[in-house]
Amino acid sequence: MKKTTIAVSLTGGFLCILLILAFFTVRQVMQLNSEIEQTFEGKRWSLPAVLYARPLELYPGLELTQEMLEKELQLAGYRREVRVQDAGGYHRSGATFELVTRDFVYPSGLEKSVAISVVITNDHVARLTETGSGSPLAFSRIDPARIGSFHPLVHEDRIVLQSSEIPLLLRETLIAVEDKAFFSHHGISIIGIARAFLANLAAGKTVQGGSTLTQQLVKNLFLNRQRTLSRKIQEAVMAVILDFNYSKEEILTAYCNEVYLGQDGARAIHGFAMASQFHFRRDLKDLSVSQIATLVGMVKGPIYYDPLKKSDNALSRREVVLRVMQTENIIDEQTALAAQKQPLTDVVPQKNSFNRFPAFLELVRRQLQTEYREEDLKSNGLKILTTLDPQVQWQGEHQLLNSVNEIEGRTGVKNIEGAVVVTGRENGEIQAIAGGRNALQPGFNRALDARRHIGSLVKPAVYLTALAQGYTLASPLLDTEINLDNNGESWRPENYDQISHGRVGLYTALAKSYNLATVRLGLELGLPEVISTLARLGYPKPIEPYPSLLLGAIDMSPLEVTQFYQTIASGGFYLPLRSIRAVMDSDNSLLTRYGLEVEQHFSPELMFLLTHGLQRVMEEGTGSRYKPTASRSYAGKTGTSDNLRDSWFAGFSGDRLSVVWLGRDDNKPTKLTGASGALIVWGRIMQGLRTAPLEQSEPAGIDWGRIDAGTLQWTHPLNPDSTLLPFISVNDTDSDRQPEFDIGIEDVKNKTKTFFDSLYDLFK
């Protein structure tokens, strides 16, 4: 009786254990099934947002060098070929470029690939034709370069393919090499596992794997890299579940998008589409037999079979894949032999081509974060079309680095840093940003975050306030000593040359950057009025109304300076700076278009006078290192902070505005004025870009008059000390803002006639 009781108890206990195990096994399977469904039916991958530069627009007469066109093509991932066959290829023969552009979806729609021929002579596009017919083209554009991406914490990059986009040759080769029974097994292959076990046992080491494509996909999508029995069992169970719930086509497509195929620094290359771009600079559909074989061979070990770093290994592996392709009748013997003779790759992978311009990308990120969640930027596959102009960016980076190196050698001051911002004068598009002398080094972005005293860069705001209150360029100002209370402390400003110049014209005080005249003028105008002008120019942050603000005791970043000078450069129109043209989602639907926003903040007449004054800076003032010539003319202003800590220059040509700052991160003196530092960098950038000359469009309400530079009184054209200045016509000025000189064009004619009549009477 006792034995029977014990037997019953043991049996009951064993059954309970079996029931518990079954319960937990079923629970675990159900949990795994839920995890698989959630991933496969939701968003399988976090797709990074990809950023593009502006497209290169070509037309006859465009100023463009042969070297720069080739550099742009290389940045955009084009490959140089002996004979162009597919999209994304180009051939250069002397001055002639033949290329095939790639399909690209713009906000306006799909722009199809086209074969074009470009002839460049004398640094201009001399001829633009369609390659096949030779028909002349008035316009064509090259699809934009991918310049960066915003990644999630898992730094993976991929181009997601649809099932229909996977080439048949790749499908057949992948299955033949990695999983011949793919379409017949149910997620795992017992025969494959047994075969691998026997092979490994005979070799005494692991020489063959038994995992199916489905198991590999499970391992990559759901599991870690641990090699334990429990993990292998879990992998097999999940493979069966995946195979039961989804079609072979869905599984194969997911595999082709997930498989790891290389490394670009911190960026992991996933999927055959991205690998095709990275290793061959080609779309997947354009790959040759040998290139397909190379990629499929890399599945076994992307690092070990890297075609660039491990070329011998990659060649051997490609041979194995080509033999399998021939054995399985995917290709014939002749095709296999021809493929064996091909080089592994005919291009150099674009290492670190993404995030090549970190300062600009940081600006784009900050602007996007005002409208998009961080999660959206890192996971939804957004397509961001930016305003970056690679030619301008390269020029800014090059000149900043070289000039700073030269300046350090000349002055003996080390650790000088700098920042550059370049925009389009008429549209406010940011074409280039350098956040430091080493443009490739991410980190502190001085263009956005180095907020320093701007020195005399503030003076145009003071003089604009004066012009708006009825002053003229000829108005006399006192450049004499003054003692002031500045926030409870005694302040005695000085001119840079430590000389008081007495009575001077307003235009001279601006051109020569006289501090004493500016301070006296600003106090007479009223500090609140100057602060209001700064706000209207584009600097809305609070400013304490201390007299020192009149000499630039205001902290601004180079980007903030650019915004208020943009209003000056555009003739009084406030244009919010923008780095983005459009944002599209992963299926190329337009989400946001960033158009031109314009507000007129100052009259054309006022801005014409101010710009004339800033042109005088370049002709006879602190910017005279770059005096106007037949081919160049600029307007701008130097800036220097106390103790020569910061060197600034902001100026514009007919088509571009550029701001340059030089200083030290520890805020110690640089021994540089605006003219001896930042102006040099600025001038080299603008000359390197060969910008359009500045030609002001004269408003209707402008008259010209000649004054004596010393007396600031009316004079005749033969006076050697005279100068010609623009004035706002009296009839176009409010009654309470009359200029000091009632000088119209008729007055000039009459006085000139009187002068010559007097000469005639003298000698007759």
Question: Does 603 participate in catalysis according to the annotation?
Answer: no
* Residues 531, 480 contacting (CB under 8 angstroms): no
Query: What gap in Å lies between CA 731 and CA 672, rounded to an integer?
Result: 45
Query: What gap in Å lies between CA 506 and CA 467, rounded to an integer?
Result: 10
Tokens (6 digits) for 393: 């960016």
407, 388, 355, 418 alpha-carbon torsion, rounded to 10°? 20
Report helix, strand or coil for 578: strand
Beta pairing class for 156-157 and 267-270: parallel
The contacts of residue 321 (CB under 8 Å, 6+ apart) are: 173, 177, 293, 294, 296, 297
- Strand runs (DSSP E) across 520-587, as ranges? 555-556, 573-574, 580-584
Reported as half-sphere exposure (CB side, CA atoms, 13 A), residue 236 has a value of: 12
State the burial class of residue 9 (Cβ atoms within 10 Å of its Cβ: 0-12, 13-18, 19+): exposed
594 closest CA partner among 580, 608, 605, 606: 580
Query: What gap in Å lies between CA 237 and CA 103, rounded to an integer?
Result: 42
* Residues 201, 226 contacting (CB under 8 angstroms): no
Tokens (6 digits) for 672: 């540089």
Could you give phi then psi for residue 539, rounded to 5 degrees?
-120, 90
Neighbours of 330 (CB within 10 A): 22
Query: What gap in Å lies between CA 501 and CA 515, rounded to an integer?
Result: 10
Which listed residue (276, 290, 403, 456) is catalytic?
456
Question: Could you identify the residue written with the tokens 């002579």?
Answer: 121
Question: Does 250 participate in catalysis according to the annotation?
Answer: no
Neighbours of 665 (CB within 10 A): 12
Query: What gap in Å lies between CA 730 and CA 624, rounded to an integer?
Result: 32
Query: What gap in Å lies between CA 634 and CA 425, rounded to an integer?
Result: 12
685 closest CA partner among 390, 420, 406: 420
Which listed residue (72, 81, 98, 178) is catalytic?
178
* Residues 210, 192 contacting (CB under 8 angstroms): yes
Please list the residues that pair with 57 across neighbouring strands. 141
Please list the residues that pair with 502 across neighbouring strands. 479
Cα–Cα distance list, 573 to 131, 252, 425, 558, 576 (Å): 43, 56, 11, 20, 10
Tokens (6 digits) for 684: 């080299």
Neighbours of 678 (CB within 10 A): 33
Tokens (6 digits) for 736: 């309470």
Tokens (6 digits) for 169: 């040759």
The contacts of residue 172 (CB under 8 Å, 6+ apart) are: 325, 328, 330
* Residues 411, 670 contacting (CB under 8 angstroms): yes
- Give the single-character DSSP code of 168: H
Tokens (6 digits) for 755: 């002068």
Q: Which residues of 61-100 are buried (b: 16+ CB within 10 A; e: fewer)?
A: ebebebebbbebbbbbbbbbbeebebbbbbbbeeeebbbb
Tokens (6 digits) for 17: 């254990």
Please list the residues that pair with 480 across neighbouring strands. none
Catalytic residue numbers read 178, 456
